Structure 1
Amino acid sequence: MPLLLTIITDPNPVLRKKSRKLDPKKLKTRQIQELCEDMVLTMLKKDGVGLAAPQIGKNIRVITVNTKDGAICMINPEITKRSWLKEWGAEGCLSIPGVFGQVRRHKKVDYSYIDGSGKTIKMSAAGLLARVLQHEIDHLDGILFTDKARDIIRN
């Protein structure tokens, strides 16, 4: 049964470390499956649209994203192509509660990741999904949205 995880908040140093890739040979372990299930539950219960492993204290390259088709766990996600066009949009973060700001992101991205069965998936995203992917992958590189934001509002 999935567990609700504790989300760490800024300025915890884990949020500033670059996360390591997972060995594809070890992806089918029960431990990774449970981590994905726990992260999805936590993201949904906290009303998030995405969650990265560093936000739960693990510096590994795993994210969950809530899409229109349901929640997905992505292992070793990478953005492989970015559109030239960028747009400003509002962002917040579960690890920086009560803070919001405008962040300029690529409108479209191509990306790849490994799913829970070890299969490599390649897709394209635009709009909110593209924004969420960029935000969550930034977490894996130790970057917070406030590093890029303007017009920051603190509630």
Structure 2
Amino acid sequence: MKRTVYDYHDLQQSIDTLIGKFGLNKTIEVIDNLSGNTELQSKDSEKVKLLLVFIISQAIEVFNLQEEHFYSSTIQEYREARMACYYLLKKYTKTSYAKIGENFKQSKRAILYNYHKCDEILSIPQYYKTFVEKFKTLENNTINFIAKLN
């Protein structure tokens, strides 16, 4: 079973592992990237487009979906995957709800509803364990991708 509570000892071990793998300079660079660059501005339009494609492809993989049905299926897993995409795009790009809706052929209102629904689900993870696990995986992959983009 995976640990959910970490302490400074665990942090130090992880940092030591990173230093052993990448060296001190690269480790500091990675930490700086992760701590300071986890958000893209809407004006970085090329990066936002790359992030959109990345998040969708990762959602399809993490939620174990078929790509051809991603935008249109009404099955719960597909709806949850799209909801996670909307949430992450809004959170990490500050793109407007309307612009996110354009990318998914959805209304601004639908994106707004799903964003708040996802936020609500994440606030009570004990009731939505499967979704929250998949969401966290998708979010971690997204953060790593943004760090590499920046």
Smaller-chain TM-score bracket: under 0.3
The answer to which structure has the higher strand fraction is 1
**TM-score, length-scaled by structure 2:** 0.24
The answer to which structure has the higher helix fraction is 2
Q: Between Structure 1 and Structure 2, whose CA radius of gyration is higher? A: 2
